[in-house]
Structure 1
Amino acid sequence: MKFIGLMSGTSVDGIDAALVEVTGKEYNVQIELLATHTGNYPAGLRNRILSVCHGAPLTMADIVELDDEIAISFADVANHLGQADVVASHGQTVYHRPPTNNNLGYSWQLGRGALIAHLTQTPTISDFRAADIAAGGQGAPLVPPVDASLLSDPQRHRCIQNIGGIGNLTYLPPWDRADSPPESIIGWDTGPGNALIDWAVHAFSNGTLTYDHDGNWAAQGNPCQTLIDQWLEQSFFKQPPPKSTGRELFGASYGQRCWQEAQAFDLDQADFLATLTAFTAATIVDSYRQLPRLPDEVLLCGGGSQNGYLRSQLQSRLPDIPILTTDDVGLDSRFKEAIAFAILGYWRWHQHPGNLLTVTGASHPCLLGHIHKVKDHLATEISK
């Protein structure tokens, strides 16, 4: 079957789409990547999404309008790729609350699937996180079972490190994919990925830049290790997995506090960007101390995998471990998340649970996502 996976992450830097031919059963799936496309949000829409992520208050009418505009943007990107059997849309996260001892978690993605189904005239699966959260899970990260299916190696211990707005890892012990995946597959959010770096670049450039291309700006500065050590004392990094996070913690307010603290060290803008980038690397490597063992190799994906300075900071902290990208093993690093949601959609369509309990902490396996079918030119939610 042909699935279109749609993904816009916490960086809000565009909507990635992948048209994927998926075959196989359960975890033994094979893919052929047929086409890819990235669509940019209109500048005004992106700014409104970021404002909501940073806590700006909205009326219900504002929320409805934003929900529709995001869905229309997602549908436009899907239509650019041509016809598929099913669209699997992650939507745009605007709020994520991890579970606590007193409350279930909550994760809110805008871009309603019923409207995407209507605009694409294609059955659409959306709202992938809700079922895992209802079962007591974090609702994140959801990609590790896909990583296991596509990127496990029979001999090597691997870490798949996604660096989007937020970073997350998947630890893959050796697996030949002949049997069910080993229970020792684990994963969690490592902390900030590009979120703080992007915030600082946008602020320092007065809105003319949205990210640090290849880390060139940061490479002009010198990281302050004292500040990095201080920031690593934040309680999230001490929390054992399963765990997840978002801009609610590592957003603009957090970045502003970091900038204020940097004043005591007389850091200029380049020094501060170098420190934020090195801090991101340090949070990733610090997370690896909680693994059963260090990996034989690390495969990067997401926007941060294209940041040369960030990669160099990771390599300096893991000098004996090859730092590669998923491109090096045949999986497009830029579109891996969109590919992953195409597969999660394939599993949902075929009644296969999509969550890993060792990753999210949910109490039981769940079918992830709501299916919206197109009938008589109307999109209606159904149970399949």
Structure 2
Amino acid sequence: MSELYIGLMSGTSLDGVDGVLVDFSEQKMAVVAAASAPLAPELKAQLLALHHPAHDELHQAALAGNAIARSYAQVVQQLLAASGARPAAVRALGAHGQTVRHRPLAFDGTGYTLQLGNPALLAELCGITVVADFRSRDLAAGGQGAPLVPAFHRQVFGRAGETVLVLNLGGIANLSVLRADGSVLGFDCGPGNMLLDHWCQQHTGQPYDAQGAWAARGQVLPALLATLQQEPFFHASPPKSTGRDLFNAAWLAERLRAYLAEHAPPAPEDVQATLAELTASACAESALRYGRNSKLLAVCGGGAYNADLLQRLQRRLPQHAVQPTDALGLPAQQVEAAAFAWLARQALRGEPGSLPSVTGARGARVLGAIYPA
């Protein structure tokens, strides 16, 4: 029986869709093909708007879900064309969907999380079984529903007798602590690329700060950094997860107003440098606190290609080798998509995809709803 699976991921950065076709038939997972596609500007704007209460939200969310499914289907077609695989040869595809709200445990002890993507439409468009809605079962079991990637990180990056740290720098930064004894801890550290991208777009018109070059020209503003670091999330203990519900443009604007009450207006590149330092400090402090005896910080996600951000991490973690996961055999941009291929496989096998030590749930659960081809 085929052991080909597809994983699809579109993260909080809203920069696009990443997809991989993965072969699990051998003992070691192999990526057969990889593809990506940007989100259309109008869809990105629609998704950003859905993070806030507005008129006609249900209608807009339904339309956005359909558009995401079509964007996902385009990436699936790219993967099939690149590999020569037929849809019938793919056991399932794991589609994370686009998170527009993530409020775990916020209401009546359960909270909710919402990912758009219309998996039924995706199954129709692709002719492949779709596994989606990975987070809600963990929430129902009292967990955060995030992060979900640490279980996969353990499978591909864990090393017997050695503690390995895996840092995903997407829109949000999350850390997996793969301990030498096989136990795992994972949690969100805070903003990854999200605030950096927002500030760069606002002041340069570019979608992101390529290689962190703009931030590298600025100077960190200690008073602003201290103001940003007062956010209670940074000081909370795991399990914890976050997203645009907290770290958004309004959050940054409010703290900039507090800073401007006592300081002259800063140069935009200095704010960018300070935001980069905020991400680096939150991640490095998490690594030092929870990753004792570790020597390696493997970085994945789009932020792995931000040279300035990696240099800031390295300065704060001089005893660690800070490097993209490419050095461990899986390119940084493919890790999260591959994780959802693995989660889809876990669902079809009826095996848990979550770790209670990460999410805080009452127990491990099989994650995902299945939409047959």
Aligned residues between the structures = 361
Scaled by the length of structure 2, the TM-score of the pair is 0.93
* 2:66 is the alignment partner of 1:64: no
Aligned residues of 1:158 and 1:298 also touching (Cα < 8 A): yes
SS of residue in 2 equivalent to 1:30: coil
Q: 1:198: which partner in 2? A: 197
Q: 1:106: which partner in 2? A: 112
Of 245, 248, 262, which residue of structure 1 is paired with 2:242?
245
Please show how residues 204-353 of structure 1 align to structure 2 within 5 Å: 204-205=203-204, 208-263=205-260, 264-291=263-290, 293-353=292-352
- Residues 143-152 or 291-300, more deviating: 291-300
Scaled by the length of structure 1, the TM-score of the pair is 0.90
Mapped to 2, the partners of 1:294 and 1:279 lie a distance apart of: 24
SS of residue in 2 equivalent to 1:335: helix
SS of residue in 2 equivalent to 1:267: coil
- Give 1:338 deviation, angstroms: 0.2
Mapped to 2, the partners of 1:50 and 1:294 lie a distance apart of: 40
Superposed CA offset, 1:19-61 (max 9, x none): 000137xxxx621100000011111111111121244443322
Mapped to 1, the partners of 2:21 and 2:34 lie a distance apart of: 6
Q: 1:5: which partner in 2? A: 7
Aligned residues of 1:54 and 1:252 also touching (Cα < 8 A): no
Aligned residues of 1:237 and 1:287 also touching (Cα < 8 A): no
Q: 2:83: which partner in 1? A: none
- Give 1:265 deviation, angstroms: 4.8
Q: 2:360: which partner in 1? A: 361
Mapped to 1, the partners of 2:137 and 2:60 lie a distance apart of: 26
Superposed CA offset, 1:265-289 (max 9, x none): 5420111100000111011112224
Mapped to 1, the partners of 2:291 and 2:93 lie a distance apart of: 37
1:55–1:312 CA distance, 2 compared to 1 (3 A): farther
> What is the RMSD computed on CA atoms of the aligned residues?
1.6
Q: 2:149: which partner in 1? A: 143
Letter matched to residue 134 of structure 2 = F
- Residues 190-199 or 83-92, more deviating: 83-92
Of 141, 152, 162, which residue of structure 1 is paired with 2:158?
152
- Give 1:256 deviation, angstroms: 1.6
- Give 1:155 deviation, angstroms: 3.5
Q: 1:377: which partner in 2? A: none
- Give 1:196 deviation, angstroms: 0.5
Q: Which runs of 4+ in 1 moved over 6 A?
A: none
- Give 1:63 deviation, angstroms: 1.8
Superposed CA offset, 1:167-192 (max 9, x none): 000001126xxxxxx3x310000000
SS of residue in 2 equivalent to 1:217: helix
Aligned residues of 2:50 and 2:61 also touching (Cα < 8 A): no
Mapped to 2, the partners of 1:225 and 1:298 lie a distance apart of: 26
* 2:48 is the alignment partner of 1:50: yes
Letter matched to residue 20 of structure 2 = A
1:292–1:76 CA distance, 2 compared to 1 (3 A): closer
- Give 1:105 deviation, angstroms: 2.7
Q: 1:19: which partner in 2? A: 21
Mapped to 1, the partners of 2:37 and 2:209 lie a distance apart of: 20
- Give 1:124 deviation, angstroms: 0.6
Letter matched to residue 212 of structure 1 = D
Mapped to 1, the partners of 2:345 and 2:175 lie a distance apart of: 22
SS of residue in 2 equivalent to 1:290: helix
Aligned residues of 1:15 and 1:38 also touching (Cα < 8 A): yes
Aligned residues of 1:202 and 1:210 also touching (Cα < 8 A): yes
Mapped to 2, the partners of 1:52 and 1:185 lie a distance apart of: 33
1:259–1:57 CA distance, 2 compared to 1 (3 A): farther
Mapped to 2, the partners of 1:78 and 1:319 lie a distance apart of: 41
Mapped to 2, the partners of 1:115 and 1:35 lie a distance apart of: 23
Indicate the percent of aligned positions where both proteins have the same amino acid.
36
1:364–1:195 CA distance, 2 compared to 1 (3 A): same
Which consecutive residues of structure 2, in runs of 5 or more, have no partner in the other structure?
81-86
SS of residue in 1 equivalent to 2:273: helix
- Give 1:109 deviation, angstroms: 0.5
Letter matched to residue 18 of structure 2 = D
- Give 1:201 deviation, angstroms: 0.7
Mapped to 2, the partners of 1:165 and 1:68 lie a distance apart of: 23
Q: 2:187: which partner in 1? A: 188
SS of residue in 2 equivalent to 1:315: helix
Aligned residues of 1:99 and 1:105 also touching (Cα < 8 A): yes
SS of residue in 1 equivalent to 2:29: strand
Aligned residues of 1:300 and 1:333 also touching (Cα < 8 A): yes
Superposed CA offset, 1:214-266 (max 9, x none): 00111111011232223222111111100000011001111222333453254
1:316–1:54 CA distance, 2 compared to 1 (3 A): farther
- Residues 228-237 or 139-148, more deviating: 228-237
Which consecutive residues of structure 1, in runs of 5 or more, have no partner in the other structure?
176-181, 375-384
Q: 1:132: which partner in 2? A: 138
